Amino acid sequence: MIARRTLIVAGFGALGVLAVYVQHLIIGYDVPFWGLFDNQLDLDVYRAGARTVLDGGRLYDAKLLGQMDYTYAPVSVVVFTPFAWMSFLAARIVWTAAIFVALYFVITLSFRALGRPITPRLRVIAVSLVLVAALLEPVRSTIWFGQVNIFLMAVILWDLLRADRSRLHGIGTGIAAGVKLTPLIFVLYLLVQRRWRAAIGVIAGFVGTIVAAFVVLPGDSWQYWTGTFFDSNRVGVPDTVGNQSIRGALANYFRTDSPSTGAWLVLALLAMGLGLWAAVVAHRHGQELLALTLVGMTSCAVSPMSWGHHWVWVVPLGVILVHHALAARTRLIAIAATTAAVALLLVTFAWRTVIDGPMTFVGETHPDARYTGLFFKHGIEWLRWFTLDPYNWVFVAAAVTTLVILVPARMSVFDSRALAEDGYHS
């Protein structure tokens, strides 16, 4: 048994080293602008927004870096202000290091939620999975753009994986929603289960961020909540290839910048119903990490605009699959979980697409473009339905698989209880 565990840890260690090398094969670390650590545009936008406020400007009227809009809620400026006081180089180093720390935290927290003690062996596995996770397009894009989604996911998991009896249960998720609105979907998840304290905590945390922002930034807060909030096109046009929401899928499938609002709302409601149903079933079966992951993926699916880097929820989903592969009691289950983990890796992998010729990105011209993500691959026309929209299909597969596996299991438990009661009464 000890030899097997050592072999598994060594295998994960080798996998982590291989992931570092493969990352360089995707796009070299030293490639100007396109290298993993050589952009961080969104972080610079966050810094520019904070500097605009510090200089007395209007946050939602300013064109940051010459042409970018600020899209987050006003309270987010408080979070980004320390980075505005740093040089861009220092901010990039601190932010990127924090992303890797948050990834490690999410992975170890996920393992703990699955019942695994955090031993030195598991820490080695977790570090290896951090390096493997960086190969996934949502995570690589988060690092490359300097995005915030890993941090929001970490806060939500830390908050909602705690026991419901905690007095501050839900507050962290509410604060995360104050920075970026999509975490509000967790209120619905909690209300469906009548977990009133946690739901109230989310709402209280969210309202608290609004009140705090009105105190600090009254003008910008009023502008955001009475106008900017309703303008989804500030984030990007819906038929952008990177828009991996249901609305983006409709826009890209039908090649239109004005997808049917009715069709989007119907599909979004169906997706929300599917995701919340699967999440509640997972929760009732004691799989809270899976439940929260499904809700997080649901938020990406139904949002008007979800870039690939919003889908960082594939990280805890991958941890769940790795856990089941390692803990499987039968070879069939181990093979199934391993196959699913490999499939998740391949679908969400940062596949490279190189487009030759000058390309202008936020006012700066580059000799070529090096995009990552399966959704840039259009070579096989009959697979276009999948390659254009891989993350929504991952969400559907995860939700349906959860229901297929857990609903019959739950019904069998009820059947057993019914038989026991019949035997007792007879």
Nearest of 322, 323, 387 to residue 349 by alpha carbon: 387
Q: CA 104: distance to chain centroid?
A: 15
At residue 309, φ and ψ (nearest 5 deg) are: -70, -10
DSSP alpha helices (H): ranges in 285-363?
288-302, 314-327, 331-348
Give pLDDT, residue 232.
63
Amino acid sitting at position 221: S
| Mean pLDDT (the chain, rounded) | 91
Give pLDDT, residue 423.
42
DSSP alpha helices (H): ranges in 285-313?
288-302
pLDDT, tens digit, 9 for 90 and up, residues 171-203: 999 999 999 999 999 999 999 999 999 999 999
Cβ distance 106 to 315 under 8 Å? yes
Q: CA 126: distance to chain centroid?
A: 18
- What span, in angstroms and rounded, lies between the C-alpha atoms of 381 and 237? 23
Mean pLDDT value across residues 404-416: 64
Q: Which residue has the higher pLDDT, 135 or 237?
A: 135
pLDDT, tens digit, 9 for 90 and up, residues 50-70: 999 999 999 999 998 888 889
Give pLDDT, residue 239.
86
Q: Is the pLDDT of residue 337 over 70?
A: yes
Region at 374 (left for phi over 0; alpha for psi -120 to 50; beta for the rest)? alpha
The residues that bridge with 361 in the sheet, in sequence order, are 364
B/e letters for 341-376, b = 16+ CB within 10 Å, e = fewer, are beebbebbbbbebeeeeeeeeeeeeeeebbbbbbbb
Give pLDDT, residue 238.
86
Q: Is the pLDDT of residue 306 over 70?
A: yes
Cβ distance 375 to 388 under 8 Å? yes
Mean pLDDT value across residues 358-370: 84
Q: CA 252: distance to chain centroid?
A: 21
Q: CA 380: distance to chain centroid?
A: 27
Q: Is the pLDDT of residue 365 over 90?
A: no
Q: CA 287: distance to chain centroid?
A: 19
Region at 255 (left for phi over 0; alpha for psi -120 to 50; beta for the rest)? left
Q: Is the pLDDT of residue 83 over 50?
A: yes
Give pLDDT, residue 407.
86
Region at 35 (left for phi over 0; alpha for psi -120 to 50; beta for the rest)? beta
Give pLDDT, residue 410.
56
Q: Is the pLDDT of residue 99 over 70?
A: yes
The model's confidence at residue 3, banded by pLDDT at 50, 70 and 90, is confident
pLDDT, tens digit, 9 for 90 and up, residues 7-57: 989 999 999 999 999 999 999 999 999 999 999 999 999 999 999 999 999
The model's confidence at residue 413, banded by pLDDT at 50, 70 and 90, is very low
The model's confidence at residue 426, banded by pLDDT at 50, 70 and 90, is very low
3-state secondary structure 228-288: HHHCHHHCCCCCCCCCCCHHHHHHHHCCCCCCCHHHHHHHHHHHHHHHHHHHHHHHHCCCH
pLDDT, tens digit, 9 for 90 and up, residues 212-271: 999 999 999 999 998 887 776 667 788 898 999 999 999 999 989 899 999 999 999 999
pLDDT, tens digit, 9 for 90 and up, residues 117-133: 999 999 999 999 999 99
